[in-house]
């Protein structure tokens, strides 16, 4: 089955969630996504993933921060909240093909249920996959249903520019939550397919989700995108960087005397693409960009010290 197609000209994208200001780890990934796209002749798109928690003013600040670094994108900005009818149509199409089923399990019930041998923690154990009509009717009386994909594979392989071939688990993952919200794994695939995104650059914490998404793309008649899952930025304790770690947003760093140009220089230095303190632009970085030479280890960022090697 197909999806509603907006533009299939090859593109890369950055897709922030407007739950707060972007920190330097998010900004570093955005810079890399821009460089991957521009050096491969692709358009660059901006997609706001606003189906969940949204903080007032966050989208505007995020876009302003990205522009301050020199990142430019093709208009219009895509907002997932404006595409709910598209996601619903895709789920309805998959359902008509017999590729979905209703699931009434809570997260705790899934975690507590016996799982198949060697299945990863939290993998869906198939509890509701083959319920009878009578059993479904009984469960509907007590709780709303999520919609899960009826997967016909248990694993799928993607190719990643930094990690090479990666084979990951595919279970009967959620397409629509029981409150009616389209699930992340559905929305990103539908949007990428509809907008011509054939290059996905994002943090390597999302590598494990790529096989599920690539498999779904094939069911929707699309070719899975090229992936580049880039190293995360960590705090001094080795945990994922967060705003609570201190001066990590563009506004925070400006208060410390580091302007947007200085932040771009720090990011470039962390990627081995500039000398310490060197003034650079994205055009300059594009002329130096070589994916094969990107670091494979995380960057440890310590506010006030410009980051230290991992």
Q: How far apart are CA 43 and CA 26, in angstroms?
A: 20
Residues annotated as part of the active site: 243
Ligand-binding annotation for 49, yes or no, is yes
Q: How far apart are CA 200 and CA 211, in angstroms?
A: 13
The strand order across the sheet containing 11-14 reads 11-14, 43-48, 74-79
Ligand-binding annotation for 17, yes or no, is yes
**11-82+231-300 and 84-225 share one CATH topology?**
yes
Q: State mean pLDDT over 208-232.
A: 97
Instruction: Give the rounded distance of the alpha carbon of 6 from its chain centre.
Output: 20
Kindly report, residue by residue over 126-148, the tens digit of the pLDDT.
999 999 999 999 999 999 999 99
pLDDT at 108: 87
Kindly report, residue by residue over 14-48, the tens digit of the pLDDT.
999 999 999 999 999 999 999 999 999 999 999 99
Ligand-binding annotation for 128, yes or no, is yes
pLDDT at 113: 79
**pTM reported for the whole predicted model:** 0.92
Q: Is the peptide bond before 21 cis (omega within 30 degrees of 0)?
A: no
- Work out the pLDDT band at 302, boundaries 50, 70, 90: confident
Return the CATH superfamily for domain 84-225. HUPs (3.40.50.620)
Query: Average pLDDT over the chain, rounded to whole?
Result: 93
Cite the DSSP H helix spans in 97-183: 107-112, 133-140
Return the CATH superfamily for domain 11-82+231-300. HUPs (3.40.50.620)
Kindly report, residue by residue over 67-105, the tens digit of the pLDDT.
999 999 999 999 999 999 999 999 999 999 999 999 999
SS3 79: strand
Q: How far apart are CA 164 and CA 135, in angstroms?
A: 44
Ligand-binding annotation for 87, yes or no, is no
Ligand-binding annotation for 135, yes or no, is no
Q: How far apart are CA 125 and CA 291, in angstroms?
A: 38
Q: Which two three-digit tokens encode residue 93?
A: 């199409």
- Work out the pLDDT band at 225, boundaries 50, 70, 90: very high
pLDDT at 35: 98
DSSP 183: P
Ligand-binding annotation for 16, yes or no, is yes
Q: Per-domain residue ranges for the chain?
A: 11-82+231-300, 84-225
């Amino acid at each position: 089955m197909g999806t509603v197609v907006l533009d299939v000209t090859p593109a890369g994208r950055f897709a922030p969630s407007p739950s707060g200001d972007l920190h330097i780890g998010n900004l570093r990934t955005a810079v890399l996504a821009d460089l991957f796209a521009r050096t491969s002749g692709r358009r660059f798109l901006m997609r706001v993933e606003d189906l969940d928690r949204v903080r007032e003013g966050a989208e505007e600040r995020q876009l302003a921060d990205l522009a301050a670094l020199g990142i430019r994108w093709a208009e219009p900005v895509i907002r997932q909240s404006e595409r709910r009818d598209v996601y619903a149509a895709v789920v309805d199409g998959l359902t008509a093909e017999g590729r979905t089923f209703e699931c009434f399990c809570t997260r705790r019930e899934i975690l507590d249920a016996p799982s198949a041998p060697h299945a990863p923690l939290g993998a869906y154990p198939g509890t509701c996959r083959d319920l009878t009509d009578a059993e479904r009717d009984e469960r509907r009386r007590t709780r709303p249903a999520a919609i899960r994909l009826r997967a016909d594979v248990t694993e799928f392989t993607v190719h990643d520019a930094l990690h090479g071939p990666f084979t990951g688990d595919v279970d009967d993952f959620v397409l629509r939550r029981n409150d009616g919200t389209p699930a992340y794994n559905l929305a990103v695939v539908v949007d990428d397919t509809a907008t011509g995104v054939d290059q996905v650059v994002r943090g390597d914490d999302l590598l494990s989700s790529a096989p599920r998404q690539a498999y779904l793309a094939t069911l929707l008649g699309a070719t899975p995108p090229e992936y580049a899952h880039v190293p995360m930025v960590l705090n001094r304790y080795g945990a994922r960087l967060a705003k609570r770690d201190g001066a990590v947003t563009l506004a925070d760093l400006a208060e410390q005397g580091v302007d947007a140009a200085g932040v771009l220089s720090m990011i470039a230095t962390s990627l081995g693409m500039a000398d310490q303190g060197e003034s650079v632009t994205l055009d300059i970085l594009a002329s130096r960009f070589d994916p094969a030479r990107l670091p494979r280890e995380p960057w440890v960022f310590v506010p006030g010290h410009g980051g230290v090697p991992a």
